[in-house]
Amino acid sequence: MSSSAAVHIRPLTEHRRSIRPWLAVVDDPAPAPNVAPPPSAAEVRGLLTCVLEVLDGRRPLSQFDKILPRHHYRPLAEQAAGPGPRQLRSLHLSQTTPAAVDFCARIDHGRRSRALTGRLALTGDRWRFTLLVVI
């Protein structure tokens, strides 16, 4: 091995806490004692369609207010940059805890196919995104 090829090994705890600029993460809330039923695939599809329409400029940014914390608008818009239209093609859901639903989706963005992944968490009486990433 040559001396110019340096390898930096980080402890696993440091790796898990590293900041990745392409992630929009919000603290997961503690599960509520009376957990509401998880959102259906149709409800999540509707939320994601709303997100895609906001990113395309077909809906105002204020549509995010009820489903996404305000300080995550800009990172999401930057990672999904480029003109639309965007269209949701497939969606897969997995309820990981009584108060969290993970999802992955495939979207068409112009002539490209992109991945969209995230988590919905129950906050109060409403399901909100705590993670939303366009890859």
28, amino acid identity = D
- The CATH code of domain 38-134 reads 3.10.450.50
Half-sphere exposure of 96 (CA within 13 A, CB side): 11
Tens-digit pLDDT profile for the chain (135 aa)? 444 444 444 444 444 444 444 444 555 555 555 567 889 999 999 989 988 888 887 887 777 777 777 666 677 767 666 777 889 999 999 999 888 999 999 999 888 898 999 999 988 888 888 888 888
Residue type, 1: M
Q: How far apart (Å, rounded) are the C-alpha atoms in residues 116 and 22?
A: 12
C-beta of residue 126 within 8 angstroms of C-beta of residue 66: yes
Read off the tokens for 94: 């997995």
The alpha carbon torsion through 62, 64, 65, 70 (nearest 10 deg) reads -100
pTM for this entry: 0.68
Each domain of the chain, given as residue ranges in start order, spans 38-134
